[in-house]
Structures are given as structure tokens and as C-alpha cells.
Amino acid sequence: MMVHRSTEENIKKSGHDMSHDEEYIELVKSGEDYFHRLERIIEKTQKEIHLQTYIFENDSTGNRIAALLKEAAQRKVKVYVLLDAYGSAALPDSFAQDLILHGISLRFFSPLFSWNNFYLGRRMHHKVVVTDGKTALIGGINIADKYHGTPESEPWLDYAVQLDCRAAEGLQKLCSDYFFKQGSAKKIKPVLHSAGSALVGILQNDWLKSKTEVCDAYTNAILHAEKEIVIVGSYFLPGSIMAKALKKACKKGIKTTVILAGISDVPLVRRATEHLYSSFLNHHMRIYEWNKSVVHGKATVVDKKWSTVGSFNLNSLSCYGSIEMNVEIHSVEFAENLRSDFEKVISECSEITCETLRQRTGLINRLANCVSYQMVRTTMLFLTFLPHLRFLKDYRL
């Protein structure tokens, strides 16, 4: 039986309150929905926690999760935390040392730049929590106040998936391999597991280790779409292969919709994305901008039966330069649930048309967008493809 609940029911019953025999998969949204689940999951863990995230901030949300992890370690739960050294560079050393003193095993994945080595581009971009090989949260949500939201501000728009099925067992193995640098993760092939009526698979993307499962799954789903593609995309700068696939889908008459950032934490990237608007609009793509908060989501539904949610952005850095992880779901019920949420988001978005684009982008703006696009693309190539030379260990701790 696959279970879907309303948001209120999700918040009340999240955290693996169900019997161990019941497999389920649920859509999770940023804000209280996600963090309430995360807290309950940590509190109920009995043996082992793996938390891997790009950003872990020293704010009220980060401190709350850190306190729960320390409590878990004190009750003899094995706690493993893997953070990206560049994404979490602002985390104070005292914060990290405090976690270690409380019995937490903590590592930082290699930074963008390092004093001890020359190592550009490859980053650990996972946003994954898995406990006891049974329950997992996987998506695009980092540990920080901006993903939780406040009474004064909306949380960043993002998604995750809660899994309680056999896929969590394989996910824990993958997280363990990454944490302990065992290297076997690149040998593990994606497998679809049942979760009630759904089929669920964990996809990796680590181009330097010959893992391109997320990129391949996206391309395959778009090329084989029959009716509809809906994408929520942050930092949306698809490379030539993905852009051609999307335009080909549009030419075939497939209804293709993207929900993008009207507000961005990286304004240069937002301008670079806007540079692509005309080309996509000319192929009859529907473009909507969300302006209530930053768009950080990475989620897609194709033909209301295939979905993916995770850390993977549609740009070359995610394709070739970062270590990404997504969950793919083959389920009409889940796809309809996610598609329904997309519709709610679209109802609060501003639609971008050729006319509205002409009205807001004069010559200077178009020039700025073009320059931004070239700068961002060049930077991504620079960070992705320069030679990687290791001299010492690539972990801060």
C-alpha cells in the first residue's frame, strides 16, 4: 500500500510512525513539513544516522538539528555527518568540534579551493538523511533557516521525498561508502525497489567517477515524453544536449512548462537564465517565475507517471562537476500529487511570454543578460573541467 496524506496529517504522523511492514513514499515540501519530519526521524533512530548535505548553517535551524544529532549520539546511535567544505565553509570550527566532542563522526568533503591541494569544481551536493536503513529523506533541502522559513519570510521553494522502503537500505550503503571513501558507490547500479504500488530508485551523478544516472534519466524521460513535462528548476542553465531535448519535446507538441526563479540568491545566474527565455519561448515552452521566495527546488514530472526529486540542477555543473543524488519514482499517484503542488505554485507565479519579456528587457538588460550568460557558462566550465590534482587529504577534518 502506498500512502499519501494531507500536509496536516504528514506533520502529525511523519517520522516513521507506521509499522515496519508498511512501505510508503511521500512528497515533502520545504518549511515546517520537512524539518518536523527530520526532527522526528532523528529522535526515533535506534542504531545509525547518515546525514549528508551541502550547507549546514550555524543558525536556529542548524543548531536545533545539531542538538538532536548530539542527543542521538549520547544514546549510542552511530551518527555520521558529511558536509561539503565549500558549501559549509561558514560553519565555525567550534561548531564542528562540538559535534565531534559529542561523539558525532564528522567529515568535510573537498572544498572548491584548498591550501593543500589544487582541486576545482567537484563538490558534494547531496541533501540526504537515512536512518537505520529503513527511513530516508532525500531532496534539495539544506539545513538552514532559509529553507525552514520564518513568520516574516516564506521558506525557499524546494522539495524532498520521504522513503520508508527497501530503497532506504541501499541508500544507507551509498552514504556509508561516500563517508568512508570506500569507492564502491561507483560500482553500484541503480535498482528499482517497490514502495507499495510505486517503483523507487536512487540515482547518482558523479561524472568523474563515470556515474551519470541522474543526467541520463532526465534526458531519457524528456526524449520519451508523450504529453507533458513540468520542471521546477533552480539555476536553470541546461547544456546543449538537455536544451535540444527540451526543444525537441516542444516541437513534438508536448506541453513543456518550467517554474523558475523570479528571486534568486545568485542574481548573475538568474540573468543568465533569462538570456535563454526567448529561445525557449519561441519553441512554445511555458515559463513561470516564482517571486514569493527563492526557487531552490529540483523536481520534475513527466506524463504524470514519472517523477524525480533531488539535488540535481539542470546545468553543466550538476552534470559534470558535482556529486548529486536524486530519487526517481515510477508512480501515477505520486506524480499526480507532485503535479498538483506544481499547479498551486503556478497559480501564484507570473507567466513570462514573448510580450512581457519585450516589455521588461530593453537593450541594456538584454546585453547584461547575455554577458551574464557567457560569464556563468565560462565559470561553470572553469570550475568543472580544469585538471584535478590531489596532494594531501581532501577533508578538513
Residue 277 backbone dihedrals phi, psi, to 5 degrees: -55, -50
C-alpha cell at 350: 507570473
Please determine, for residue 375, whether its predicted confidence score (pLDDT) is greater than 70.
Answer: yes
* Local confidence band at 183 (pLDDT 50, 70, 90 cut-offs): low
The helix (H) or strand (E) run that includes residue 257 is strand 255-261
Q: What number is the average pLDDT over the span 101-128?
A: 75
Please determine, for residue 152, whether its predicted confidence score (pLDDT) is greater than 60.
Answer: yes
Q: Judging by DSSP bridges, how do beta strands 350-352 and 286-290 pair with one another?
A: antiparallel
Across the chain, mean pLDDT equals 87
CA distance linking residue 67 with residue 383, whole number of Å: 35
C-alpha cell at 324: 548529486
Q: What number is the average pLDDT over the span 219-238?
A: 96
Type of residue at 381: L
Please determine, for residue 13, whether its predicted confidence score (pLDDT) is greater than 50.
Answer: no
Using only C-alpha atoms, what is the Rg of the chain?
20
Specify the 3-state DSSP secondary structure of 371: helix
What local confidence, expressed as pLDDT, does residue 379 receive?
A: 74
What local confidence, expressed as pLDDT, does residue 336 receive?
A: 97
What local confidence, expressed as pLDDT, does residue 186 receive?
A: 57
Query: If you ran DSSP here, which 8-state letter would residue 154 be given?
Result: P
pLDDT one-digit tens code per residue, 294-327 = 999 999 999 999 999 999 999 988 988 899 999 9
Contact call for residues 48 and 22 (beta carbons, < 8 A): no
What local confidence, expressed as pLDDT, does residue 380 receive?
A: 72
What local confidence, expressed as pLDDT, does residue 188 receive?
A: 64
CA distance linking residue 388 with residue 32, whole number of Å: 40
* Local confidence band at 391 (pLDDT 50, 70, 90 cut-offs): very low
What local confidence, expressed as pLDDT, does residue 377 receive?
A: 78
Lowest mean pLDDT among 2-6, 117-121, 160-164, 385-389: 2-6
What local confidence, expressed as pLDDT, does residue 9 receive?
A: 42
pLDDT one-digit tens code per residue, 349-371 = 999 999 999 888 788 888 888 88
Q: What number is the average pLDDT over the span 256-285?
A: 94
User: Sign (positive/negative) of CA torsion 320, 325, 331, 336?
Assistant: negative
Please determine, for residue 11, whether its predicted confidence score (pLDDT) is greater than 60.
Answer: no
Q: What number is the average pLDDT over the span 102-109?
A: 96
369/201: higher pLDDT:
201
Q: What number is the average pLDDT over the span 98-127?
A: 76
* Local confidence band at 115 (pLDDT 50, 70, 90 cut-offs): very low
CA distance linking residue 128 with residue 141, whole number of Å: 9
Q: Which of 299, 330, 328 is nearest to 314 (CA)?
A: 299
Q: Judging by DSSP bridges, how do beta strands 255-261 and 228-233 pair with one another?
A: parallel
Please determine, for residue 242, whether its predicted confidence score (pLDDT) is greater than 80.
Answer: yes
Beta bridge partners of 3: none
What local confidence, expressed as pLDDT, does residue 320 receive?
A: 85
Q: Which of 182, 90, 83, 193 is nearest to 127 (CA)?
A: 83
Cβ atoms within 10 Å, residue 59: 13
361/18: higher pLDDT:
361
Q: What number is the average pLDDT over the span 42-52?
A: 98
Q: Which of 341, 225, 358, 365 is nearest to 290 (CA)?
A: 341
Domains in the chain, CATH or no CATH each: 19-186 (3.30.870.10), 204-384 (3.30.870.10)
